[in-house]
Each structure stands twice: as C-alpha cells, then as structure tokens.
Homo-oligomer: A and B are copies of this chain.
Amino acid sequence: MPPATIRSSPDRLSRPQQVAEAIKSWVMANGWRPGDRLPSETELIERFGMAKGTIREAIRILEAQGLVKSRTGPGGGVFVHQVSEERATALLGNYFYFQHLTIDDIYQIRIVLEPELAASLAGTLSEAQLAALEAVMTCYAEPARTVEEEREQHIASLRFHALLAEMSGNPLLRFLIRFTANMLSDITVSRGLYSLPNRELWASGLDYQARLLQALREGDPVAARRILHEHMKNAHRLMRLQETVLTQRFLPEGGII
C-alpha cells in the first residue's frame, strides 16, 4: 500500500526530504526488516510521480542515515539496512564536533558507565570470554619502550574496554561505552596525548584490569564496580595531568579537534 501522493508543501521540507520521510515511515509501518528490497527507482518514479533525480536524492538521504544500501545490476536495487554501530558513532560524533567536549566531560560519563558495566557482568562470563579478556591484557604485559609501543598499548587498553562492552546484553550500554571510549580516543589522538609515555598509567591499568578479571570470575559485582570506579578515577587523574603538561608546553590555547 504505497503512498500515491505526498503532502504538497505544509512545511519547508524539500521534495527529496519528503520522499525520504515517506519511504521511511512506509518501511516502518510495514515492519520491513534488513535485507528487504524497496521498489526500484523506476517504480518509485511512477509511484511518487517525480523525476529520477529527485527520487535518487531521497535514496541518498536514507543511505546517509545508514538505513538503506543500494546495489547495481540484476537482483540489485535498494535494500533496507540495519544501521551499523560505526555509522551511528560517526553520525553522533558529528553532533559533538560542534560541542566543546572536554576530557572531564567524557570521564564524568565513563566513571559511572564502566563500573556499572563491570558490575552487571560479574559472574555472567564464560571461561572463553574471560580468556579473551586476558589475551588482550597480554598486549601490554611489558612496559612500552618506544612511542610506537606506547601507542599500541593505548589502543589495546581501549580494546579491553570495547571487548568488555561487547559482552554486555544491553545494546544501549554497549554503544555508550564504546562511543565514549571512541570520543576520548579521538580527542587524545588529535591532541597527541598518547604520545607521552606514561609508565604510571601503564602499571596501574594493568593492575586494575587483573583485579577486575578476578572479581568478574568470582562473580563479585560490588568488587568489580569498585575496581573499575577506581581505575576510571585514576585514569582520569593521569590524563588530566598529561593534558596539563602538554598544554603548558605546546598549545597556545585549549581547542578541541
């Protein structure tokens, strides 16, 4: 039951935007799932009575939102697509590009989310999952000797948190943990913060994660929460220290990205 017509001009949406909205609500109303094929361009042209260019722009709008993907050739067409986490992260990142996020802002969130994640996972992980976490930890069993190693360890420690998040049954928590870690990574990389070898951060991080694993294995949510809370507070403190040192040395003024 495709809509034959479109509201002419109640608001200030351009026609492609109207078409995109129409298609979107049409898909949602029919409960179409990822993989389902939308009508072909030609069909849409007939259905909406609009030019090819207009329809194509509408498709592009939906594609930019990550809601559809299109393929050429026979059996091709436009298909409903599940918005990927990467796409969602990028789109939300655009929003914060214009907001002046600070290290403090991000840690205020991490400092409550990460412990909550740890607590909710305590006692629920399989031995395979715990082993996977331990495997990541081996990446920074030794202190970094070069800037390159420091960088790799930084990435690995972020992967530890990402992996932990992956094990949560809560999609919202999963996304937020990974998103905040990503934002933090973007900021630190853009400011070159990770390039300062920080032995204390390495040592404390390793210790905290080892104790966390034990608490997770023993199924002690209270301990898991406390450990990750301390870990976050400490990481925050050390990063602020680095930030201060760095801004005092190099940067004329604070400024994100």
Would you give the 0/1 interface string for A92-113, flagging 1 where the beta carbon is closer than 8 Å to chain B? 1011111111001110110011
Restricting to A179-201, which residues have a CB under 8 Å from any CB of B? 180, 183
A120 touching B108 in the complex, CB below 8 Å, given contacts A95-B87, A171-B99, A180-B172: yes
Is A176 among interface residues, defined by CB-CB distance under 8 A?
Answer: yes
The stretch of A60-68, A130-138, A141-149, A210-218 that contacts the partner chain: A60-68
A64 interface neighbour in B65, B82, B116, B180, Cβ under 8 Å: B65
Chain B residue at minimal CB-CB distance from A106: B172
The distance from the CB of A17 to the nearest CB of chain B, in whole angstroms, is 8
Chain B residues with CB under 8 Å of A98's CB are 34, 82-83
Number of interface residues of A (CB under 8 A): 49
On A, residues with C-beta under 8 Å from B are 16-17, 20, 28, 34, 53, 56-57, 60-67, 82-83, 85, 87-88, 91-92, 94-101, 104-106, 108-109, 112-113, 116, 120, 170-173, 175-176, 180, 183, 257
A67-B94, A82-B98, A109-B176 provided; 11 other pairs, C-beta below 8 A? A60-B64, A65-B94, A83-B94, A85-B95, A91-B92, A92-B92, A96-B171, A96-B175, A108-B170, A108-B172, A172-B183
